[in-house]
Amino acid sequence: AQKVTQAQTEISVVEKEDVTLDCVYETRDTTYYLFWYKQPPSGELVFLIRRNSFDEQNEISGRYSWNFQKSTSSFNFTITASQVVDSAVYFCALSEAQGQNFVFGPGTRLSVLP
């Protein structure tokens, strides 16, 4: 069975600090996709990043970066120079195929204080 764990329930940082959100996943599939979504108070899940199991190359996209390590089944997400608008709940998710059903973690609530 697939499972996603986000050990951090809530994180508070001061604006301009860097923050890393942790995600650990479990799956027996050899092909899978990992995602990070942001959920602001409006409720809509906003897609942030995606990684497939074939590619462990870590990348930076603007203020976002991620660290995918298959050896430890982790997919951590970092926001550099955090801003107040980054305050939201962040979900890590796993799917066996792109666009197929997601297994979500419990979420991490990030508060960025001015």
* Chain residues that interact with other proteins, rule: CB under 8 A: 4, 37, 42-47, 50, 91, 93, 97-107
The distance of Cα 14 from the centroid of its chain, to the nearest Å, equals 20
Of 13 and 103, CB closest to other proteins: 103
Of 43 and 114, CB closest to other proteins: 43
Of 31 and 83, CB closest to other proteins: 31
Q: What is residue 1's DSSP assignment?
A: -
Q: Which residues pair with 56 in a beta bridge?
A: none
The CB-of-106 to other proteins minimum distance in angstroms stands at 5
Contact 94, 103 (CB under 8 A): yes
Of 22 and 50, CB closest to other proteins: 50
The CB-of-107 to other proteins minimum distance in angstroms stands at 5
Cα torsion 14, 18, 23, 29: sign: positive
The CB-of-42 to other proteins minimum distance in angstroms stands at 6
**Cβ-based neighbour number of residue 3 at 10 Å:** 12
